[in-house]
A and B are shown apart, each in its own frame.
Chain A
Amino acid sequence: MTDLEALAGQAVDLAGTALAGVEVAVQADRHRVGLTRFANSVIHQNVAEDVTTVHVQLHHDGRTAAGSATVLDDDGLRALVDRIVDAVRIAPPDVGWPGLAPPAGMPEVDAPDPATADAAPQARAEIVRSFVDGAGGLEAAGFCRTSHWEGAFANSAGHAATVDGGECGLSGIARIDGADGVARHAPLRLAELDGAALGARAAAKARAWADPIELPPDRYEVVLEPTAVADLVEALAGVGFNGKFVNEGRSFARPGEDQLDPSITMVDDPLALGHRYDADGTPRRRLTLVDRGTTAALTYDRRAAAEAGVEATGHAAMGRFAWGPTARHLGIEATDAAVSPDEVDGPIADSSVAAIVADVERGVLVSDLWYTRLLDPRTLVLTGLTRNGVWLIEDGAVTSPLRNFRFTQSYVQALMPGSVLAVGGAATPLPGDTYTATSPRWSCPALRLASWNFTGGASG
C-alpha cells in the first residue's frame, strides 16, 4: 500500500468513526510539477512544487460538504475530517446527491515515463536553451513544463483505485520587430520534446509575418492550424458537450443528431496520460463525443448524470463543479493517423497543414486564436482575436502576412455539416494553459473551414 492509499483509507476510517453512517469519498493526490518559463530569451521564472492534498467529501442525513487540506500529519488529517464533519451536520439539504461511486475495475494504462516524472530543473532548462538556440537569434518566450500525478481514491462504498500519470509540454514564441511566431507540443516523454525544432518553427513563422497588411473585416475561408483549432476543441469541451450545460438547456448538443460536418470525429482520451478515474472515482475511458459529425456522447459526472438519468462518464473535476463535467483530453481525429508531418519552409506549421493550404483558392491562414470569450453558450458564439501569425492564401500559396483580426463567430456554425472543407492528416498534441499535474491536453489537426466571421481589424 502506498502512502497515498494509506492516507485515503485513513480519512475514510476517521470520517466513519466520527459520524456513523456517513458516506465518504476521499482523494489523496501528490502533484509534482515544474515549469521553466522564459522571456527575452532568458529563463526569468523557474518554479516547482511538490504538494500532497487530501480532498474529502461527506454525505450524511441528506446533506453534503466537501473540503481539502495540505497539512496531512495525523493531527492535520483529523482536523480536516472534523471540519467537514462539522460542516455536513449543518449544511443545507442536498437534493441532488447522486450517491458514491460503486466498486469498479480500473482501466489498464501505461506507466508514466520516469525521466519525465522526475525531471530536474536542469532538464527543462536544457530544452529551453534548445528552443532559444533554435529561434536563431530572435527573442524567444514561453515555457517548458513537466508534471507527475500520483493519487489514491477510496470511498465508504468499498471502491478504491490508484493513479500514476505524467506528461510534459512546451509552448513558445519567437519575436522579431513586433511579429510573433508560435510552436507548441505536449508529448508524454520529455525526450520527445524537440526544443530546437520548435524554436526554428516559431522563428520561421515570425520572420514570415513581417510588415503585415490590413485586410477588411469580412467572412473569409480559413485554414486554422492545430494551435488555433485547440481553441475550438476547448470551447466544445467546456460548454458544448458538458452534460451539466446540456441539462440546463445551455448547450447546442443533442445526442444522436448530425450536428457537425461528417469529417469531424472527436474523442476524449484521458487514458493516454494515465488518468484512470475522475474526482468521483468513476473509471475513465476513451470516449467518442462526435462520430463522423453525429453527436455521440456527452460528458457527465455522477451528479449531472443522475439528473439526466444516464451513466457517469468519468468527467468529475475536483473544485470545478459550478462549471460542470468537461472533457480535458479532447481531440479531433486526423484523417490519417499514420501521417508524420515533415517540416516545411515558411510560415506553415508542417506538411500536413501545407497539404490543406495547397487547395485553397483564397483564404486566411491562422496560427493561433487568443482571448476567446463566450457571447452565448447555446449558440457557442465567441469573440476573440488572431495571434502569432496570420497570412493571406491565394491560389494555394501563402502570399502576404496580414494584421490581426477580431472575430465574432459561432464555433458550431463553423463546424456544421458542409462547412468543413478539409481536416489535416496529422494531429498535434498540445498543452492546455493550466499548471497542475492534471492539466488539459488537446489533440488537433488543421481544419479548412468555409467561412469565418472576422468582425474587426487591428485598427478597430
Chain B
Amino acid sequence: MSEFEAAERAVQAALDAGATYADARVMHRRHESMTARNGDVERVHQEADSGIGVRALVGSGWGFFAAPGLDDRAARSAGTRAAEIAAASALVSRGASALIPADPASGSWASACTLDPFSVSLADKGDLLVRATNTVREHGADLATGQYQAWETRKWFVSSEGHRIDQHVREAGAGIDGTAIGDGETQIRSYPAARGQYATRGWEFVDELDLEAHAARVGAECRELLSAPTCPAGETTLILGSEQLALQIHESVGHAIELDRILGWEAAYAGTSWLDLDQLGSLRYGSELMNITIDPTIPGALGSFGFDDEGTPAAPRDAVRQGTWVGVLAGRDSAAVAGLDYGGSVRADGWARLPMVRMTNVGLEPGPHTFDEIVAATDDGIYMETNRSWSIDDRRLNFQFGTEVAYEVKHGELGRLFKNPTYTGIGPQFWGSMDMLSSEIVAWGTPNCGKGQPGQVGHTGHPAAPARFRNVRVGVRA
C-alpha cells in the first residue's frame, strides 16, 4: 500500500467514525547527528521513524492520534482512534469549530539539495569535526565541541476536502564552539552561531560554512574573554550583530504574532501575546525601518516549505510594514476563530505530533545602511554579537538577552572587548528605537524552537542584519 493510500484510508476511517473533517500525514524521517569534543568524536546517532498522524473533527471537538504502522489495519485504526478522541473532546467544549475555506491543493515539492547529507561518509564528517575541535582547543579553549545535524523528511498529506500533497525536504547544518574555564566562570565563543547554523539545503551548506577556517579564532576569543572587563551597566546605544538580532526577531516578533497565542490557546504554557487583534493594521510595533515578512518561500532558509501541514501552499506575507503590525502566523482553525482569511503557517514536528501554528521564515527586510556605516555613525555605544542566553515573558514583551561578546564603540570605531554582556527591554519600545539597519541580510536558521504540549521542536528561519537601537539598558547581572 502506498503512503497516499494509507493516508486516504485513515481519513476515511475517521469519517466513518463520525468525523466531519479529517486529515492525515504519513511521514518517513531520517535524522543523523554527530558530536565531537576536544578532537574526539563523542557520538554518532542515526534515527529513522515512519508513521501516520491523523487529525479529526467530531462536532466541536478535535482529536489526534499517531501510530507507526502503515498497513491497512493500522491506518484505519489511527483514523478511528482520532475520531474517538475528538468525541471525548466534546465533553468540555462550546460553540462550533471550523476551518477557513481552502481550495484542495494537490502537488509535489522538494527542497533544493546539491549534496545529499546522508551520502557523505561518516568518516569524512567525523574528520571535519575532529580537525575543527582540535584547532579550537589548540588556540585556547579548555573545551571544544563541534556538531552537525542532517534531516530528510518525506511526507504525504491527504484531507477529506481533497488535498493530496507530497513533499521531500532535506536540511543540514553545523557549528563549533570553544569554552574557556576560568575561576568561577566560563566563557564561550561559537561559529557560525550559537548552537550552529542550519538551512533547508544539503551538505554543500556545511561545506560553505568552512568551520575549520574559523576554529582558531573561536579558540582564541573564548580565552581572551576570561581576562576582558565585564560589560558596563547602564543605558546606551546598542548595535546588534545579525545572529543576535535573528533571535530577537524570533522571540519578540515571531512568537508574538502567532495567532494561537493571541487567541489564548497557549496561555497555560508558552503564554499569550501582548498583541490585540483589534489593533491589527494600526498598532505601532517599531520604527519606520522595521519591515518584517513571513516568507516560507525563501530558497534554502530553514523555515521554507512548499505547503504547510494543513496543505496550504507557501506564500509570503507581511507581518510588520514600516513599523505597523499588519499580519499574523495562522492556521485554518485559528484564522476561522479570529475572522481572518488566511492560514499557511501550521506545521508539526513529525507524524506523531499535532500540527500547530509555527514560525516559517520570519525576518527583516534589508535596511539602507551597512555595518561599517552603523559603527562609524555611533559616537558612544556597545556592539554585541552571538547569542548566549535568552529569556522573555509570557506575553512576549519583557526580554533579556546575553551575548558571547561585546565591543565598546567610541567615536565611530570598535574598541575594547567586554565579557558577560546582557541587554534588556520591552518589545515595542526596543523596536521603536531602531534607527539604523544594515542591508547585509543573513537567513539564520533556528533548529530548536520549542512550543506546545506535547513539546514540539520547530525549524525556523530569520533573515536579519546588523542594526542600531537607542537608549537600551545593558549590563544586567546577578
The total of interchain contacts (Cβ-Cβ below 8 angstroms) comes to: 279
User: How many residues of A are in contact with the other chain, CB < 8 A?
Assistant: 94
Cα A372 to Cα B394 in complex, Å, equals: 12
Q: Say yes or no: A92-B130 contact (C-beta < 8 A), given A87-B122, A385-B391, A460-B426.
A: yes
In this complex, which of B42, B84, B127 has the most chain A Cβ atoms within 10 angstroms of its Cβ? B42
Residues of A within 8 A of B34 (CB): 92
Main secondary structure, interface of A, reads strand
Residues of B within 8 A of A459 (CB): 426
**Interface hits, B81-107 → A, CB 8 Å:** 81, 84-86, 88-89, 91-95
Q: Say yes or no: A371-B392 contact (C-beta < 8 A), given A41-B92, A91-B126, A460-B398.
A: yes
Residues of A within 8 A of B127 (CB): 92
**Interface hits, B275-327 → A, CB 8 Å:** none
Residue B388 at the chain A interface, CB threshold 8 Å = yes
- Of the candidates B93, B398, B455, which one forms a contact with A458 in the assembled complex, judged by CB atoms under 8 Å apart? B398
Residues of A within 8 A of B123 (CB): 90-92
> What 0/1 pattern do residues 426 to 470 of B give for CB contact below 8 A with A?
100100000000000000000000000111000000000000000
User: How many residues of B are in contact with the other chain, CB < 8 A?
Assistant: 87
Residues of A within 8 A of B426 (CB): 459-460
Residue A418 at the chain B interface, CB threshold 8 Å = no
A322 close to B147 (CB less than 8 A):
yes
B122 close to A175 (CB less than 8 A):
no
Residue B415 at the chain A interface, CB threshold 8 Å = no
Q: Return the chain B residue nearest A436 by Cβ.
A: B454
Q: Can you report 18 A-B residue pairs in the complex whose CB atoms are below 8 A from each other?
A: A40-B265, A45-B356, A45-B453, A49-B65, A83-B46, A87-B46, A87-B122, A92-B36, A121-B63, A125-B88, A248-B142, A250-B181, A321-B43, A375-B402, A378-B184, A381-B477, A456-B398, A460-B473
Residue B1 at the chain A interface, CB threshold 8 Å = no
B35 close to A321 (CB less than 8 A):
yes
Residue B264 at the chain A interface, CB threshold 8 Å = yes
**Interface hits, A39-56 → B, CB 8 Å:** 39-53
**Interface hits, B337-378 → A, CB 8 Å:** 352-354, 356
Min CB gap A227→B, angstroms: 12
Residues of A within 8 A of B269 (CB): 143, 171, 433
Residue B112 at the chain A interface, CB threshold 8 Å = no
A92 close to B126 (CB less than 8 A):
yes
Residue B224 at the chain A interface, CB threshold 8 Å = no
- Of the candidates B81, B265, B429, B455, which one forms a contact with A44 in the assembled complex, judged by CB atoms under 8 Å apart? B265
B62 close to A46 (CB less than 8 A):
yes
B185 close to A460 (CB less than 8 A):
no
Residue B40 at the chain A interface, CB threshold 8 Å = yes
Cα A141 to Cα B272 in complex, Å, equals: 11
Q: Return the chain A residue nearest B84 by Cβ.
A: A121
Q: Say yes or no: A52-B424 contact (C-beta < 8 A), given A92-B41, A456-B400.
A: no
Cα A196 to Cα B63 in complex, Å, equals: 24
A48 close to B65 (CB less than 8 A):
yes
Cα A96 to Cα B41 in complex, Å, equals: 9
Residue A287 at the chain B interface, CB threshold 8 Å = no
A46 close to B88 (CB less than 8 A):
yes
Residue B266 at the chain A interface, CB threshold 8 Å = yes
Residue B252 at the chain A interface, CB threshold 8 Å = no
Residues of B within 8 A of A124 (CB): 88
A39 close to B266 (CB less than 8 A):
yes
Cα A91 to Cα B186 in complex, Å, equals: 31
B394 close to A370 (CB less than 8 A):
yes
Residue A354 at the chain B interface, CB threshold 8 Å = no
A43 close to B61 (CB less than 8 A):
yes
Min CB gap B12→A, angstroms: 20
**Interface hits, B180-222 → A, CB 8 Å:** 181, 184-186
A173 close to B67 (CB less than 8 A):
no
Cα A158 to Cα B51 in complex, Å, equals: 32
Min CB gap A20→B, angstroms: 21
A383 close to B143 (CB less than 8 A):
no
> What 0/1 pattern do residues 92 to 111 of A give for CB contact below 8 A with B?
11111000000000000000
B85 close to A84 (CB less than 8 A):
no
Residue A315 at the chain B interface, CB threshold 8 Å = no
> What 0/1 pattern do residues 109 to 129 of A give for CB contact below 8 A with B?
000000000001110111011
Residues of A within 8 A of B63 (CB): 46-47, 121
Residues of A within 8 A of B336 (CB): none
Residue B18 at the chain A interface, CB threshold 8 Å = no
In this complex, which of B145, B388, B454 has the most chain A Cβ atoms within 10 angstroms of its Cβ? B454
Min CB gap B32→A, angstroms: 9
B64 close to A142 (CB less than 8 A):
no
Cα A71 to Cα B29 in complex, Å, equals: 11
Beyond A35-B453, A173-B268, A406-B398, 11 additional pairs, beta carbon < 8 A = A36-B88, A46-B61, A48-B81, A48-B85, A51-B67, A64-B43, A94-B42, A121-B84, A376-B420, A378-B184, A410-B478
